[in-house]
Amino acid sequence: MRTEGQLRESIQRFQESFWNRKSADRPPVGVYDERMFLPINFLRRPYLRPTVSPDDVTGELVMTEYEYSFANRAVSCDDYTAFSAAWRGVPWLEACCGCAVGYAEGSLAPRHFVESPEDLANVPIPAANGWFDRLRCETGRLEAQAPPDCWISPSILRGPSDVLAAMRGLSWFLLDLYDNPLALLRAAARIGQLLIETVEMHYSIVEPKLGGFGHIFGYWAPGSTVVIQEDAMGMCSPDMYRDIFMQSNAELVHRLGKYVLFHLHTTGYKHYKHVLDIPGIAGLEIGMESIGPTILDLVPVFREILEKSRLILHVGTGFELLPQVLRKLPTEGLFLGIPDKYVRNDQEFHEFTKAMWKS
């Protein structure tokens, strides 16, 4: 468990260097357990049925992130915010829009059920299937049980394009982008409204801790915060994002305030320029992938983002290139996430930060 003094030091670093974009000795740097990105690992026992129902998702079935990882973290002097969230194995927004939640060894996945883009207009959103209420109950349970150094974060809440890809099936969704974009545009507005209501529900339950909130991407924010995900758009022309989904994202930013960020993968990031054009967007979160451009290739993109906004960079690959990369980037508005396979203890953390940002 981290002490209150350690927490306040990290919070001050987030406030000044990341949110206020002021010059500092170093930016916030967090060390994270990569196993947390596979929430199927949180199961306390094998799950034996092919479909997951809302009543299944309880503390008796799954551990929290804090139980699984943060309670025994090897690095305690970094800035990664400890969190728990309603089980991230569940595709929550897809389920709330009517998708059945299928279970297979190693993952949970939403099942498509809408037969045509025209049928989207008749789908009740949210569905009367109990998933929204389960999310509310799980959020309340976690908030009541949170340890002193743990924040309760919104769970994974994917954006309208990802939800529509789940409802229609990915192949049909990609065809719909060309065959009936208007149906998708209208459905995206309805899903976007549900996303807003879901985030507002979360913050009606979760209270600020030490003046702010934590998120599953490891950062702290002084106000209610969420990260938009539109991963399906990584496979499409950036103009598709701009013309069909950007407006629903802009409405979310307008409604939820100035601490809304946007999640991207390096395998599909080209719509980032349009994202930066969303009025009030707080910044971008980018996860490095083992395929696609290298972290060094993306330095011009990172610089462009940091000149205009903020960047959370999760270095899942390319750690050996970080010295070259960081020499070319400003620290203002940057938060760096490093897997614990590269930084294994407090001593290695101090050695890493000293080497990267020599005074």
pLDDT tens digits for range 66-77: 999 999 999 999
Confidence at 107, pLDDT banded by 50, 70, 90 = confident
Q: Band of the pLDDT at 98, cuts 50, 70, 90? A: very high
The pLDDT of residue 176 is above 90:
yes
Listed residue (241, 296, 233) closest to 267, CA to CA: 233
325, pLDDT greater than 80: yes
- Could you give the CA distance from residue 302 to residue 300 in angstroms, rounded to a whole number? 5
Residue 141's pLDDT band (cuts 50, 70, 90): very high
Answer whether residue 358 shows pLDDT above 80: no
Q: What's the confidence (pLDDT) of residue 104?
A: 81
- Residues 240-252: tens digit of each pLDDT: 999 999 999 999 9
- Amino acid 106: pLDDT: 72
Q: What is the mean pLDDT of the chain?
A: 96
- Cα–Cα distance, 76 to 196 (Å, whole number): 34
Rounded Cα distance between 278 and 246, Å, is 8
Selection from 60, 59, 49, 78 nearest residue 337 by Cα? 78
Phi, psi at 287, each rounded to 5°: -105, 125
Worst-scoring range by mean pLDDT, 18-22, 37-41, 87-91, 273-277? 37-41
200 pLDDT tier (thresholds 50, 70, 90):
very high
Span 189-215, mean pLDDT?
Answer: 98
Residues 317 and 294: their CA atoms lie apart, in Å, by 8
Q: What is the pLDDT of residue 1?
A: 81
H helices of the chain, where? 4-13, 65-68, 92-96, 131-145, 160-168, 170-179, 181-205, 238-240, 246-256, 272-276, 299-308, 322-326, 346-356
Integer angstrom CA distances of residue 92 from 39, 95, 156: 13, 5, 7
For helices 181-205 and 131-145, angle between their N-to-C axes, nearest 10 degrees: 30
Mean pLDDT along residues 90-109:
93
What domain range is 284 assigned to?
A: 4-356
Q: How many domains does the chain have?
A: 1
Residues 6+ apart with CB under 8 A from 82: 2, 65, 66, 70, 73, 147, 149, 150, 151, 214
Average pLDDT over residues 298-307: 98
Q: Which among 342, 353, 356, 351 is positioned nearest to 34, based on CA atoms?
A: 342
Find, among 218, 206, 202, the residue nearest to 82 by Cα. Answer: 218
* 346 band by pLDDT with thresholds 50, 70 and 90: very high
Distances, alpha carbon 44 to alpha carbons 27, 59, 110, 136, 141, in Å: 37, 9, 22, 22, 17
pLDDT tens track for 42-60: 999 999 999 999 999 999 9
Kindly tell me if the per-residue pLDDT of 327 is higher than 90: yes
Token pair listed for 199: 């985030």
Segment 104-113 shows an average pLDDT of 88
The three-class DSSP label of residue 43 is strand
Question: Within its chain, how far is the Cα of 188 from the centroid?
Answer: 19
pLDDT, average across residues 198-218: 98
Cis peptide preceding 222, ω within 30 of 0? no
The domain spanning residue 75 has which CATH number?
3.20.20.210
Does residue 160 register a pLDDT over 90? yes
Q: Is the pLDDT of residue 143 over 90?
A: yes
Sequence-separated (6 or more) residues with CB below 8 Å from residue 290: 316, 317
| 3-class SS shares of the chain: helix, strand, coil, % to 5 | 45, 15, 40
Two tokens, residue 111? 């099942």
pLDDT on residue 28: 98
Work out the pLDDT band at 254, boundaries 50, 70, 90.
Answer: very high
